[in-house]
Structure 1
């Protein structure tokens, strides 16, 4: 040793001899002991390295089966990095069953190497499945360095023993060692409390410097391992906290041990802490059907691992969701189950999509089943080989749809009437040539040898390169329609004959009606003229002899004869309007309305009338008849606004897709809507004749004329709130309507 002994001690020979003897004895014993211990430690180190190699390979086999089986490369690499951080491991290679390297790490080798390799199997039920292979090499260089440090430590102990013996003999040495030993005790206490601070003056002594270096190296290793553990834990915690899928750990009895934020979010809890607090029993608190949890547990006990187990869970708010669970059973070395850990995903959207798809398919199946036509997909070959054909074909042909699939029993071409087969082929070929739809009518021979007419619609299905894949279409049974059309054709022929006959009879009746109208006009007008003439003679001869009451009677008779004459004229006009020939021309209603207003000018010049004439369209019709329509409507508006200080008469139109609507609106006396149905009848009046004059023929004439034009009439009103009269003429086919009614 380079330690310089105390001069006082060195001057004492006995102490020097005892010290020398003790040192020599201790050195001899120490050398022997250290040599023996070195041999023992070396053997133990080799055995320890062998055990560590076996334990390492066993650990890797035990932890890598699930990641390699589930192809979880990230988990595999994480385990590889964690294991290879051990300084004694200089090489680690993890391969899949296909020899693909998932993880590899090699360090600079030193010292003797111990190599191990093992194949990794995954227990899948009752069979084992090879999932990979692992290679590991360990060096004893670190162990040798540790052994050397141990020898240094033992040497230091020897020196301590030597010093202790010297202390027994030398009180001063004992006194000098008490303080360092106390400091070492304090260092040990700090180590025990987790404070790895060795900054102490004791270690500056030469005898304690090896021990101090050993302590320093040990502290550095401990702190390095702590940092590695903390970093690994931080990485796993980061994965755990930020995973998008729910991660959980639970006891076999159903208590939730741990859960990440994603699991809380899926189950509707604001935090993992609240989830763990609220969920006491998984089966009753989370599972909609608690027996599902028992089934999952049974699968785990049988298989040790379950993937994609689908079940319904209940969220915090009571809503049920669909979840997919992948879990494994964690057991101890004896095989006793400890807990369950795994992943949970919300698959509600997927389930809803599957349900919607299933419902859509069901609706499509129902539509196909209930379709009146037979829906098909076939190939464009000579047999029209069917790939799909709905059951409706049975109602048409009497043959089951299965008979036609792949032409197993019969081809579709075989049931087409022989006289129609060429026409069907040509129609389809022509449509496919231009990539158009095809439609055709042809005949089929049914199972009972009857002939039925069908109507087929379809089109070709082409690949992106323009290649024809197949034909899609539908076949309708139109036998009844064909039969009905034939009957209608026969009925039309009979109807044409009847119309011709009735037309001839109607022409005769019209001539008789004209003769009758002339006779009525002549026969009724002559007595009226006689009454009116003799009444004038009587008034002239007896005017001075009659009192006022008799004079009133004569005036009443005169007015009645005049009204009778007007009524006869209106009836004759109404009769002629139904028989007169219509001449269709384009009529500017704006010009026609202005002409009619001018006709009323002598009667309206002293009245306050607000005429509101909108932009009126050009229509097709008989000008004379439409003149009568507008004349009557405007006349009514003028008549029923007579008692208004300010009359308002509006004439406009409301053009729609199929017809042109003309209206005449006023602010006159109006009418009660419950009697609106009587307005356009002959002799129908809603006001007394002494209040508003009229015969009740005008609006009936309006309806007859508009009806002959193919239109319609109606009115809206309110008592003392005015009225609006509407006439609607066909817009697109007004000319045709006129021609037909003519």
Structure 2
């Protein structure tokens, strides 16, 4: 045999090498076992975290095959994880499968995270809103091999947003019907929200006027009225009382109208006022009528004072409301 021709020295050397290899294997075995145990513990922690996250989490292959899903995700889809893994998205969400596959392919191509909000009709028939993040799952070489989807149920948030939007629409329509510009002013932030008959009063569209803050509003007050109005408002804010003012207001076309503004600074926490709601009304017609009445009364008074005879104005059974100078001279009145 060939081995019989080996020298004693060679045999001893091979024996030592064999012993060394066995020793290395004995040394590596515990380390390998520890590594396997650490990997197993890490996987268990990951599974526990994913399972108890309280939100749907699932992994898909790039061709839409479900590789993993936690219990809450499976419950939303009307099954158990073991029943769904290995199926394709087209089987349980046919209406949105095409869009979902487009998103999966997109992440698979560039590895970039994507976020979407969708209203999903679940197999139970319930319609729920979900915000879903799509993440790339890479192998050791950095190649995208799967896509992980992490979803949050945002149905309540969407319902609240819809309710708020509807409430604001009702408020806006109601405010517009009153013919008043309505505002909400937050003294803490200085922010103003405008609604109501914005265009009828200011000449600006609803969208344009949302850009107006308190400084821009103040610039629209006639220079001769501005100091008075701002002082009244500052005083009302300081003492947290009602605020009223009549002043001339410049419209978008540069013309001035008379407006009446009413608001209230309601006391809030830590001696700070809560956001207040106020109104601005166009009172130009009323002011013109008052001016015309005053002019008419002035002309009548001037005529009667210069009338050579006695003249007075009174209602039946009541004292005179007005008498001219000739009547006063006759009776010696001053």
TM-score scaled by structure 1?
0.31
Aligned equivalents of 2:244 and 2:57: distance in 1? 61
Which residue pairs with 2:96 in the alignment? Answer: 289
Work out the number of aligned pairs and report it: 287
* Partners of 2:218 and 2:231 in 1: CA distance: 22
Report matched runs for 1:486-505 at 5 Å: none
Query: Which residue in 1 is equivalent to 2:305?
Result: none
Q: 2-side partners of 1:455 and 1:316: how far apart?
A: 58
What is residue 135 of structure 2 aligned with on the other side? Answer: 327
| Aligned position for 2:59 | 249
Residues 33-91 of structure 1: per-residue CA shift (max 9 Å, x gap)? 457xx5xxxxxxxxxxxxxxxxxxxxxxxxxxxxxxxxxxxxxxxxxxxxxxxxxxxxx
Select 1:349's aligned residue among 135, 139, 156. 156
- Do the aligned partners of 2:174 and 2:196 also contact (CA within 8 Å) in 1? no
Q: Identify the residue that residue 685 of structure 1 maps to in structure 2.
A: none
- The residue aligned with 1:266 is 76
**Which residue pairs with 1:411 in the alignment?**
219
Map residues 171-250 of structure 1 onto 2, 5 A cutoff. 227-228=37-38, 230-250=40-60
Q: How do residues 293-692 of structure 1 correspond to structure 2 at under 5 angstroms?
A: 293-323=100-130, 324-330=132-138, 333=141, 335=143, 338-367=145-174, 369-376=176-183, 392=197, 395-396=200-201, 411-414=219-222, 418=224, 424=229, 427-428=232-233, 431-440=236-245, 442=246, 444=248, 454-460=259-265, 466=271, 473-479=278-284, 483=289
Instruction: Give SS of 1:30's match.
Output: helix
Q: Which runs of 5+ in 1 are unaligned?
A: 1-21, 39-146, 154-213, 491-495, 501-742
**1:31 alignment counterpart:** 12
Within 2, Cα distance between the matches of 1:344 and 1:379?
36
1:709-742 CA-partner distances (Å, limit 9, x unpaired): xxxxxxxxxxxxxxxxxxxxxxxxxxxxxxxxxx
> Contact between 1:34 and 1:151, CA under 8 Å: does it hold in 2?
no
CA separation of 1:465 and 1:450: change in aligned 2, threshold 3 A:
same
Matched residue of 2:113: which SS? Answer: strand
Q: What's the CA shift for 1:27?
A: 3.5
Question: Secondary structure of 2:129's partner?
Answer: strand
Deviation, structure 1 residue 361:
4.5
Q: Higher relative CO (CA 8 A, sep ≥ 6), structure 1 or 2?
A: 2
User: Quick one: distance in 2 between partners of 1:386 and 1:314?
Assistant: 39
C-alpha spacing 1:427/1:265, structure 2 compared with 1 (3 Å)? same
Q: C-alpha deviations, 1:493-546, integer Å up to 9, x for none?
A: xxx96999xxxxxxxxxxxxxxxxxxxxxxxxxxxxxxxxxxxxxxxxxxxxxx
CA RMSD of aligned residues (A): 5.1
Rounded to whole Å, the distance in 1 between the matches of 2:121 and 2:216 is 52
1:653-690 CA-to-partner distances (Å, cap 9, x unmatched) read xxxxxxxxxxxxxxxxxxxxxxxxxxxxxxxxxxxxxx
Q: Residue 260 of structure 1: CA displacement?
A: 1.5
**Aligned equivalent of 1:587:** none
Q: Relative to total residues, which structure has the larger helix share, 1 or 2?
A: 1
SS in 2 for 1:355: helix
Q: What residue in structure 2 maps to residue 150 of structure 1?
A: 21
SS of residue matched to 1:302: helix
Q: Deviations over 1:303-357 (max 9, x none)?
A: 224243333433221223222133324457594x543334333232233333334
Q: Provide the secondary structure at the position in 2 that maps to 1:413.
A: coil
Residue aligned with 1:29, SS: helix
* Cα distance change on mapping 1:350 and 1:281 into 2, 3 Å: same
SS of equivalent residue, structure 2 residue 104: helix
Judge conservation of contact 1:307–1:326 (CA < 8 Å) in 2: yes
- 2:221, 2:247 within 8 Å by CA — same for their partners in 1? no
With over 3 angstroms needed to count, the CA separation of the structure-2 counterparts of 1:405 and 1:231, relative to structure 1, is closer
Of the two, which has the highest radius of gyration? 1
- For residues 268 and 223 of structure 1, do their structure 2 counterparts lie closer, same or farther at Cα, with a shift above 3 Å needed? same
Provide, for residues 344-381 of structure 1, a one-character-per-residue CA deviation record: whole Å limited to 9, x for no partner. 3323223333333444444455455555212347899x
Deviation at 1:296, TM superposition (A): 0.7
